[in-house]
Amino acid sequence: MKKFGALFGCTALLSVSVSTYAAPAYVDFVEPRARGNDSVVYNPDPMSAGASGLTTFNVSNMDVPGTFGVDMSVGISKTITEAKWSCMHTTGNYQFAIVEGWQGGYGQNTGLASAVKDAWNAGFKDVDVYAFMCPNCHNSAASATQLVNYLKSNNVRFGMIWLDVEQCSGCWSTNLAANCEFVKSLASEYLRLGVKIGVYSSEGEWPQTVGASCTGLNAHPLWYAHYDGVPSFSDGLYRFGGWTKPAIKQFADSAGNSCGISVDRSWYP
């Protein structure tokens, strides 16, 4: 996921997309988005350890074993027609999608129910939601409750919610331990409400955001980012936060087979 900061907004990129491995999981592909903190200007910041710009993976998804998926921001999700969803599914061979449901200080994606429905109708096998929430964006466990209530009241069919843990200028406390507890409080609230969860982050973003010593969430699936263009876990860059095995890898922040839609690309074996 890549993030763009904007005045008056704290936002992050995490979408939901489900994959059917032993535990519930989804993939996330993200693109520029704004965060919703009322007083900070944000700068572009790729969310993967060692990311150095756009990576395009040119091999067809059909040529590589495994399952491929996409993720998108609030803004992009509102522009995708069911026909475009179908195009991505058939042309790009994408099987799962993760749609951003909460955008920092900007809050709820009001088009989430429609986007998720269109993805299912287009033939995607799994659809998840991802949520970027941050303490300096006026978010709290109550925000998690609001998101879940929206999903339930709109009868949104989804697999799980991915907690997006990544840097955003001005979005987080300088106290990493406090940030760690904030993320855990969100996780606890989702679980209390009966929602399956996973975590999206990277080897570089995790220690910067919640601290290298932040553990306790590794019982849940990990969706990690490393934009090396390689749909494989062989890089080993998922050993943080207590995780020893990932569920999904976000391996590229662009795609040539996404029917003109700006997405991130993810994969699981």
Q: What is the pLDDT of residues 225-240, one digit of tens each?
A: 999 999 999 999 999 9
Q: Is the pLDDT of residue 213 over 70?
A: yes
Which residue shows structure tokens 């406090």? 178
Cα angle 98, 267, 257; round to 5:
80
Q: Taking residues 180-193, what's their average pLDDT?
A: 98
Q: Is the pLDDT of residue 181 over 80?
A: yes
pLDDT digits (tens, 9 = 90+) for 76-112: 999 999 999 999 999 999 999 999 999 999 999 999 9
Residue 169: alpha-carbon gap to chain centroid: 18
pLDDT digits (tens, 9 = 90+) for 10-55: 655 443 333 322 322 323 333 222 233 322 222 223 333 333 344 4
**Where are any strands of DSSP class E within the chain?**
2-3, 19-20, 24-25, 45-46, 67-72, 94-103, 126-132, 161-164, 197-201, 222-225, 248-252, 264-268
Query: What is the reported pLDDT for 257?
Result: 82
Which residues are designated catalytic?
166
Q: Whole-number mean pLDDT of the chain?
A: 83
Burial environment of residue 165 by CB neighbours within 10 A (0 to 12, 13 to 18, 19 or more): buried
In the chain, helix, strand, coil percent, each to 5? 25, 20, 50
Query: What is the reported pLDDT for 63?
Result: 74
Asked if 45 contacts 201 with a C-beta cutoff of 8 angstroms, the reply is: no
Q: Which residue has the higher pLDDT, 46 or 123?
A: 123
What's the rounded Cα separation, in Å, for the pair 10 and 74? Answer: 13
Tokens of 166: 């990544």
